[in-house]
Chain A
Amino acid sequence: EAGVAQSPRYKIIEKRQSVAFWCNPISGHATLYWYQQILGQGPKLLIQFQNNGVVDDSQLPKDRFSAERLKGVDSTLKIQPAKLEDSAVYLCASSPSGSGRPNNEQFFGPGTRLTVL
């Protein structure tokens, strides 16, 4: 079974530029998550999709971040314009369980390391 795919693996941009990340979850997984992990911290949930609907985006900085999951499969996360504090690893994860399931094991992709100069 193929894992969660993400691209690009690394990205370096200057502040105020825009950037987009792509994620393809494990086949059949209904739930998709985007996390931001700053060095030395645990992952922080940015947005969660159930199929192509948003379940939780309460921690997504909506003035600069956007995400979509068209057709309920792959997803893109965009930052526009980027700030220095956006430097982090952006992790995508997927889960076979839906909202409300107690054992929603999440499978993580390799992540995209973003550096904002």
Chain B
Amino acid sequence: QKEVEQNSGPLSVPEGAIASLNCTYSDRGSQSFFWYRQYSGKSPELIMFIYSNGDKEDGRFTAQLNKASQYVSLLIRDSQPSDSATYLCAVTNDYKLSFGAGTTVTVRA
């Protein structure tokens, strides 16, 4: 079982719609959860982190965490073409950050 699994893509959404990305993790001791965005040919950049159960909102992005279900998600509201990228879920236990394979999102204009 992979440490971090993300829903397989690619995910195609029309401009203005909500993009929903899911991630599950295997280590119950995981403490912090991150969403990175990676444009093609570029390095990952952090867009959200969450470490308490519930929702965390930042602009058009909302991260949701459910530790009992070992599940974390990212919602992108009012999707824009500039949101087209691969989104990486990352989970940390103490110091080690483990990444999922990523979900590629394409926003259609």
A100 at the interface (CB under 8 A from B): yes
Which residues of B sit under 8 angstroms from A43, Cβ to Cβ? 44, 88, 99
Q: A42-B99, A42-B101 are in contact. Are A102 and B44 (CB under 8 A)?
A: no
For the complex with contacts A42-B101, A108-B44, 7 further pairs of A-B residues with Cβ separation under 8 Å are: A42-B88, A42-B100, A43-B88, A43-B99, A91-B44, A106-B46, A108-B43
Interface size on A, residues (CB 8 A): 26
- How far is A44 from B34 in the complex, measured between Cα atoms in Å? 15
Residue contact A102 to B101, C-beta cutoff 8 Å? no
For chains A and B in complex, what number of residue pairs have CB atoms within 8 angstroms? 56
Asked whether B92 is an interface residue with its Cβ less than 8 Å from the other chain, the reply is yes
Taking beta carbons and an 8 Å cutoff, which residues of B are in contact with A?
4, 31-32, 34, 42-46, 49, 51, 88, 90, 92, 94-102
The minimal Cβ–Cβ distance linking A69 to chain B, given in whole angstroms, is 16
- In Å, the complex CA distance between A102 and B50 comes to 10
- Which one, A42, A45, A98, A105, contacts B96 given CB within 8 A? A45
Residue of B nearest to A100 (CB): B94
A residues apposed to B, CB below 8 Å? 31, 33, 40-45, 48, 55-56, 91, 98-111
Are A103's CB and B43's CB within 8 A? Answer: no
